[in-house]
Structure 1
Amino acid sequence: MPSLFIAHGSPTLAIEDNLYTQYLTALGKTLPKPKAIVLFSAHWVSPVQTVSNVDEFKMIYDFYGFPDEMYNIVYPAKGYKDLTIDIVDLFKDHGISFRVDETRGLDHGAWVVLRLLYPNADVPVISMSVNPNLSPEEQYKIGASLFKLREKDVLIIGSGGTVHNLRALNWSKQSGDADGWAVEFDDWIGDHINKWDLDSLFKYDAIAPNAELAVPPYGNEHFVPIFYAMGAADNEKKAKLIHSSYQYGNLSHSVWQFG
């Protein structure tokens, strides 16, 4: 299986029918069906890497002021405790600090994406936290510790967004041309991902054009899942941008495939 970085955009993707939601639905039908999914969500931030260990996930509606129908969505994803054990063993082997969580449900960074890819909730899921206070190199190493899972038909996903600045959005602009500063940032990121230029990527916040606008200091948790997803393909170091579009002027809808 590849690993993927998938932008989860606005929560309303859960009820929208547009080019991006259509793409993610088609992607789920195109990929080989995985044995399980390990998903790092920008909406689960913790100081220590945390891995879920549940039988069935509850729903977390971690958004406010959206249409009522969104709070009625249920995605009954099941966990996979044997896979949690495998992940714990890999973390121990690689000296990665971790804890196991047996109560947390799925946040919208997870279930919006999963529901579009696998609407029948018939693929078990392991939910993973991210830590935006780690260095990109440390985030990458956490992903890299899991690359062997891909050989066991496990799909690893980082769910976030390369350009995700809520204060810069134009909510009246559903589609159309994207803001130049957002495209310039994404182009720079894409160029260095394609080269697997980790030295530059790990310093993106200092050297990428428009980095502070694209990835504001208060919102870098949405960008960092890309390092976890890249790390999971460290043994191959191959990347391909398989979708790119924008909503609200600069909210990026990018999907990267690694491996």
Structure 2
Amino acid sequence: MLPSFFIAHGSPLLAIENNEYTHFINDLGKNLPRPKAIVIFSAHWESPVQQVSEVEQYSTIHDFGGFDPALYTIQYPAKGNHDVSKEIIDLLTANGIPFRMETKRGLDHGSWVVLRLLYPNADIPVIAMSVNPILTPQEQYKIGKSLSVLRDKDILIIASGGTSHNLMALNWADNGEITPWALEFEDWLAHHLHQWDLDSLFHYDSLAPNAQYAVPPHGKEHFIPIFYAMGAADDVQKAKLLHRSFRYGSLTHSVWQFG
């Protein structure tokens, strides 16, 4: 059985950088059993109703501006998989979760930056999924849980976002120092994830120190993918922090394995 993962996608620059974090994700892809397909929830695809892609051939969305021109030439020509999309909609239906099919949307950078680092050849089918920050964490967890059986079928479930993601608070000088409030928030999060303490995690916004800085209202969509990834491993309820580093003082690069 494959675990599920939460993987921070950081800045789009990760797609062309060569650093500790990109090396880690490269190695992770090499060391995991090769999946039959990948289901990925991206913070950059928000929708009030759960969206499930059913795309034969994905385009690559460059949904950012002002970065190195080289980023805009990158393509990640992944294919979809009709059978896996159908299995997902059957599972959502059985669990009473409303959804819509999406047949045209390409892969945003929350998806392709991570996938390209894991599987640079784009030779594994992908099913892209939206996230909904308006839902409660319990509802987001339930959506992930509804798909947990896919892990028994060699389908890799990834949620892409960022646990501390406040663009207004970044130190662009990036002098290597970690912002204290970000570290305090991440330590609280790690403790409760390791305990699988859903009661506390579902109320992170009122319980976690510095939550208002780490997960501001305009950045909530980056934090909540972690609940989809956790839900997908509800049958095991085991969390392991595989990597954590910081960029620009408070932008967290973290990889959590669940299950």
Give TM class, smaller chain: over 0.9
Superposition pairs of residues 138-157 of structure 1, within 5 angstroms: 138-157=139-158
Which residue of 2 is the match for residue 184 of structure 1?
A: 184
Which residue of 2 is the match for residue 243 of structure 1?
A: 243
Report deviation, 1:176. Answer: 2.2
Which residue of 1 is the match for residue 219 of structure 2?
A: 219
Moved over 2 A (4+): none
Which residue of 1 is the match for residue 36 of structure 2?
A: 35
Superposition pairs of residues 128-147 of structure 1, within 5 angstroms: 128-147=129-148
Runs of 5+ in structure 1 lacking a partner? none
Which residue of 2 is the match for residue 57 of structure 1?
A: 58
Query: How many angstroms apart in 1 are the aligned matches of 2:121 and 2:144?
Result: 27
Query: How many angstroms apart in 2 are the aligned matches of 1:78 and 1:180?
Result: 42
Secondary structure at 2:244 match in 1: strand
Secondary structure at 2:159 match in 1: strand
Which residue of 1 is the match for residue 120 of structure 2?
A: 119
% of aligned pairs identical?
65
Which residue of 1 is the match for residue 22 of structure 2?
A: 21
Amino acid corresponding to residue 184 of structure 1 in structure 2 = E
Query: How many angstroms apart in 2 are the aligned matches of 1:248 and 1:179?
Result: 9
Amino acid corresponding to residue 114 of structure 1 in structure 2 = L
Which residue of 2 is the match for residue 66 of structure 1?
A: 67
Report deviation, 1:171. Answer: 1.1
1:181-221: CA deviation from partner (whole Å, max 9, x where unpaired): 10110110110011000000000001100000000011100
Report deviation, 1:172. Answer: 1.5
Query: How many angstroms apart in 1 are the aligned matches of 2:153 and 2:254?
Result: 26
Report deviation, 1:177. Answer: 3.0
Root-mean-square deviation (Å)? 0.6
1:47-75: CA deviation from partner (whole Å, max 9, x where unpaired): 00000001010011000011111000011
Secondary structure at 2:111 match in 1: helix
Secondary structure at 1:151 match in 2: helix
Secondary structure at 2:33 match in 1: coil
Secondary structure at 1:230 match in 2: helix
Query: How many angstroms apart in 2 are the aligned matches of 1:219 and 1:48?
Result: 19
Query: How many angstroms apart in 2 are the aligned matches of 1:246 and 1:20?
Result: 10
Paired positions, count: 258
Query: How many angstroms apart in 2 are the aligned matches of 1:172 and 1:9?
Result: 16
TM-score normalised to the size of structure 1? 0.99
TM-score normalised to the size of structure 2? 0.99
Which residue of 1 is the match for residue 205 of structure 2?
A: 205
Query: How many angstroms apart in 2 are the aligned matches of 1:219 and 1:28?
Result: 27
Which residue of 2 is the match for residue 170 of structure 1?
A: 171
Query: How many angstroms apart in 2 are the aligned matches of 1:118 and 1:211?
Result: 33
Which residue of 2 is the match for residue 229 of structure 1?
A: 229
1:133-171: CA deviation from partner (whole Å, max 9, x where unpaired): 000000000000000000000000000000000000011
Amino acid corresponding to residue 10 of structure 2 in structure 1 = G
Which residue of 2 is the match for residue 99 of structure 1?
A: 100
